[in-house]
Amino acid sequence: MSAGPTDTTAVSAPGKVLLAGGYLVLDRAYTGLVFGLSARINVIAQKIETSPGVQLNEIVVESPQFLEAQWTYGYHLADRDGGIQVTQLRTGTALHANPFVETTLSYGLTYVTRLTGLSPEHTISSSRLTILADNDYYSQPSQHSGAAAASTSRFARFPTTLSGANKTGLGSSAALVTSLTAAILSHYLPVSLFDLTTDAGKETLHNLAQAAHCAAQGKVGSGFDVAAAVYGSCTYRRFSPSVLSSLPEPGKPGFGAALQAVISSRSDGAATTGETVLGWDTEITKASVAIPAGLALRMCDVDCGSQTVSMVKKVLAWRSKEPESSKMLWDTLQARNEELATALRDSKTDDGTIPALLKSIRELVRTMGNESGVPIEPESQTKLLDALSTVDGVYGGVVPGAGGYDALALLVKDDAKTTARLEAFLETWSAESGGRVRLLGVKGAMEGVRREDKGIYDGWLQS
């Protein structure tokens, strides 16, 4: 059941923007309005060819757009059903750990061996996994200070290590874990056991990617970013954190069976393995989300401040201290968010509904920020959004997700003239404010994870 010698498997998953529902999405009583993006993380899996009589047991993961971005892993089946443990092998003078890659490999390969019932040597052939990110995930160097010019190709080469690259906040870790998991499952499993194009395949991928992503980041998040990577634009109600509470760490006794039971569990609490576990209670609805014809969701990369690390903790502390007033505000905000989703779905782009709703949502978010002492929409972002809303063709915008200083999401007319006006405005604003704000090329998109034609990666893959 291992991948054939000429098999090349290519998949991609989109980034995300939480347009409405920041903080609310942490609570199952509320939902988030999340959009997938046209910028995607691509993973291409290839079997490593060896000379006759030579056998390798390693997986090479590389991100050739960056310097020193190659990780080589050995793998083995841990005792007492501990699953597949991966060990990073030294390939140069130093080891550069990548917890998202390492954790995803362990989770994905463990699930592969559990599903096939075969030993790792019969299931997992050596492979090379190549990661390619669309350019908008990272701020590209400008012409000044002797830096290389920004690339016009889809996949730029960056003169830095991956850890030194400046992210633009599009959800790269969730898109990476999702596409890497999809590549592993698609490469090593026959379509009878995993088919990415089916609802069942996407559900398996979603559950496994959520589990791996939570483990890699060291906490159980809301999961809206992984949901967008799998399903694309949707309204999202989070899963209960207790779904993953009984899952041991990779290598610990029983991890393999526990992982299979959790991933295979359905929303009714039954598991296909016959074991009783709490089923996934995520609610993902695609039919309630749309981007009207002639309108685009655009992103701005903002570099004029630093985000406060403890924002979530402070907002949750405020909720605990002021349960009645915070609930009233969140309930009102939830209603406005739902109205915005309905207005977008019903293409209400000509009657002022969308601008009015965006303004109302921003007012409520600022109130939450003021009462909790958190800069969800900082004053600098307020001034910028207010000014942007006066540009012809701009319906309005928000500081997406948890807020802060590093990004804006805009709803605008989808035409070249509006884009030109926006770029000119932001160039002037950046010069006058001393900050740096630029319109990214990425747009909102509906599609989630998908298979790709390997031909689009010509020049990047090793033969």
373-387 pLDDT, tens digit each: 999 999 999 999 999
**Domain presence at residue 354:** yes
Number of domains in the chain: 2
**Domain presence at residue 372:** yes
Quick check: 83 and 157 in contact, CB under 8 A? no
Q: Are residues 324 and 267 in the same domain?
A: no
Q: Are residues 146 and 25 in the same domain?
A: yes
DSSP 397-428: EE--TT-SSSEEEEEEE-SHHHHHHHHHHHHH
Q: Are residues 150 and 262 in the same domain?
A: yes
Cα 48 to Cα 129: distance, rounded to the nearest angstrom: 10
**Domain presence at residue 216:** yes
Q: Which residues contact 274 (CB under 8 A, 6 or more apart)?
A: none
Q: Are residues 198 and 77 in the same domain?
A: yes
**Domain presence at residue 302:** yes
Phi-psi group of 23: left, alpha or beta (phi > 0 → left; psi -120 to 50 → alpha; rest → beta): left
Q: Are residues 319 and 281 in the same domain?
A: no
Q: Are residues 433 and 452 in the same domain?
A: no
Q: Are residues 439 and 452 in the same domain?
A: no
Tell me which DSSP letter residue 304 carries: S
Q: Are residues 34 and 127 in the same domain?
A: yes
Q: Are residues 266 and 123 in the same domain?
A: yes
**Domain presence at residue 251:** yes
Q: What is the pTM of this model?
A: 0.93
Quick check: 395 and 296 in contact, CB under 8 A? no
Q: Are residues 126 and 264 in the same domain?
A: yes
Tokens of 77: 């089946």
**Domain presence at residue 462:** no
Q: Are residues 246 and 103 in the same domain?
A: yes
| CATH code for position 325 | 3.30.70.890
Quick check: 217 and 162 in contact, CB under 8 A? no
**Domain presence at residue 234:** yes
Tokens of 240: 């209960």
Tokens of 53: 């009589």
pLDDT tens for the chain, 463 residues long, are 444 434 799 999 999 999 999 999 999 999 999 999 999 999 999 998 766 655 668 999 999 999 989 999 999 999 999 999 999 997 665 678 899 999 999 999 999 999 998 788 778 999 999 999 999 999 875 533 333 345 568 899 999 998 888 888 898 999 999 999 999 999 999 999 999 999 999 999 999 999 999 999 999 999 999 999 999 999 999 999 999 998 999 999 999 999 999 999 865 543 343 333 357 999 999 998 999 999 999 999 987 554 555 899 999 999 999 999 999 999 999 999 999 999 999 988 888 999 999 999 999 999 999 999 999 999 999 999 999 999 999 999 999 999 998 899 999 999 999 999 999 999 999 999 888 899 999 999 999 999 999 999 999 998 6
| CATH code for position 25 | 3.30.230.10
pLDDT in tens, 4-37: 434 799 999 999 999 999 999 999 999 999 999 9
Helix or strand run (H / E) with residue 51: none
Cα 440 to Cα 436: distance, rounded to the nearest angstrom: 12
**Domain presence at residue 1:** no
Q: Are residues 327 and 375 in the same domain?
A: yes
Task: Look up the domain containing 359 and give its range.
Answer: 295-443
